Structure 1
Amino acid sequence: MQAAECGVYRGHSLVACLRIARDLRVPVNFIGLDSFAGLPSLVEEDLKVAPENAPYRNKVLFDDTSFEAVNELVTSAGFADRAKLIRGFFVDTLPTLPETRYDFVNIDCDLYAPHIECLEYFYPKMNAGGIIFFDDYHSRDFPMAKSAIDKFLEDKPETLLHLRFGPEGTNHTKCYIEKL
C-alpha cells in the first residue's frame, strides 16, 4: 500500500498511521511531505476567509519543528524503513515524486494553495477505493481549507463524507473521499 501525508509538522499523525497499519498487518510505505519551516505565504484566497485575528496573518505558524526531529521520531518508533520524509513546499516537491498510485493520502496543510496543489497532484494518482483524508475541512482557524476542497471537488463525482469524533470542538469532524 502506498500512502502520503501532506503536512507532517512534528510527525505524530504520520507515526500514528504507521502504527495502525502495523497493528492491522497492512504493509504500507509512507511519503511524508512538509516544509519543516512553517506555512507558506498566504494567497488571496486565504486572505478572503481567514479570521481577522488569525495569528498566521502576521507570523509564520508551525515552524517549531525540524526535519531532523521528525526523522528521529519516525526512526525511534521503528518505521525508518516504511516512511520517507521530503522537505520543501508542495509546489516544489510534488513534481519530484516518482510516478506511482496511492491508496491513502492525508492532507493537513491548512491553507488554500497547498490544498489545491496536493489535490491536483494526488487525486488523479489515487487507486479506486483509495481515501483522501482532510484534516482541516471544518477548522474555524483555517476556513480556507474548506474553500479549497469544495472548489476542487465541485466537478468531481466523489461525495465528501464527514467523520465526527470526540466532544463538540472546533475541529472534531474530519472529512474524506473514497476515489471512484
Structure 2
Amino acid sequence: MNFQEKGTLLFHRIRNGLLKARLSNLARQVAQDRLTYLPPEKLIRIETYARLATADDVPGNLLEFGVALGGSAIILAAQAARRKRLFFGFDVFAMIPPPTSEKDDDKSRERYRIIASGQSEGIGGDTYYGYRDNLIDDVRRSFAKYGLPIDGKSRFLCKGLFEETFPKYDGMVAFAHIDCDWYAPVSYCLNHISRRLSAGGVIVLDDYHDYGGARTATDEFVKQNPEFELIAGPNVILRKRR
C-alpha cells in the first residue's frame, strides 16, 4: 500500500468514526450486532427524519418495506414507542423476489443472479439473511432482545409480498423507509404509501443511488407528484409539503 492509499484509508476510518459518534446508542448497537447493512451516514438520516416526521402535528405510524435482519426496523420501532405510534415491518422474510421490470438495470439483475446462486455473503461472515429458513423468527428474537417484542398491538411484522399485505393497512403514515431494491416494489410502495402519508410526513429511499430501477421509480413519482420535496443525500428523502 503506497502513501496515498494509506492516507485515503486513514481518512475513511476517521470519517466513519465521526459519523458513528453521531448515531444513537441504539443504532450503534444494532450495527455492532450485525443487524443492518446500512452505513452510519444512512442510519443518521433515518434517525433524524424519523424524529422530524413524528412531531406532534404529523399524525401516523412508522413503516418499513424491506426489513431484512431488522436493524433499521428496531430503530424505527423504538422511535415509534417513544412517540406512542405503531410500527409495521413489511417483508417476504425469505429470498428476495427477482427484478421483473425492463426499467431495472443490469446491475440489479447481476445482483439477483448472485443471490439466487447461493453466493451472496452475509455481514461479518454470517449467513446471508435471504438463505435463512426462519428469518422472521430471527427478526422477532432480535426485537425481543432490544425490549421491543412483536406483540401484535404496537409492533407488527407483515409477511408476504407488499401488494398482498399493505392493502390490509388502514392507518395514516408519518414515516416510511423503503429498502426493496427493484423498480416494481419501489414504485408500488411510493404510489400506495403516498396516499396515506400525512402532510409533513417523510419517505426514505435506500436504493436510489444503488439500483437503476429504484432511481427510475423515484424520479417518475416525484415528477408526477409535485407536492413532494426531494432532499438529496446517501439515502434520498421525500417529504410531503404541508
TM-score between the two structures when normalised by the length of structure 2? 0.62
Select which of 87, 99, 106 maps to 2:159. Answer: 87
Q: Deviations over 1:62-90 (max 9, x none)?
A: 51341111111112211124420010111
Matched-pair contact (CA < 8 Å) for 1:74–1:83: no
Counterpart of 2:130?
Answer: 63
Shift of 1:51: 2.0
Partner secondary structure for residue 195 of structure 2 = helix
Q: Does 1:148 pair with 2:207?
A: no
Counterpart of 2:235?
Answer: 174
Q: Does 1:137 pair with 2:208?
A: yes
Q: Distance in 1 between matches of 2:186 and 2:76?
A: 20
Greater CA drift, 53-62 or 3-12:
53-62
Counterpart of 1:7?
Answer: 66
Select which of 169, 179, 186 maps to 1:115. Answer: 186
Counterpart of 1:104?
Answer: 175
Greater CA drift, 148-157 or 54-63:
54-63
Identify if the C-alpha distance between structure 1 residues 53 and 108 changes in structure 2 by more than 3 Å, giving closer, same or farther: closer
Describe how 1:151-162 pairs up with structure 2 within 5 A: 151-157=220-226, 158-162=228-232
Q: Distance in 1 between matches of 2:80 and 2:166?
A: 24
Q: Deviations over 1:133-161 (max 9, x none)?
A: 1111111xx22110111112211111210
- What is the aligned length? 165
Counterpart of 1:19?
Answer: 78
* Structural RMSD (CA): 2.1
Shift of 1:54: 2.0
Q: Distance in 1 between matches of 2:230 and 2:106?
A: 22
Shift of 1:58: 5.4
Shift of 1:53: 7.5
- Identify, as 1 or 2, the structure richer in strand: 1
Greater CA drift, 112-121 or 75-84:
75-84
Counterpart of 1:167?
Answer: none
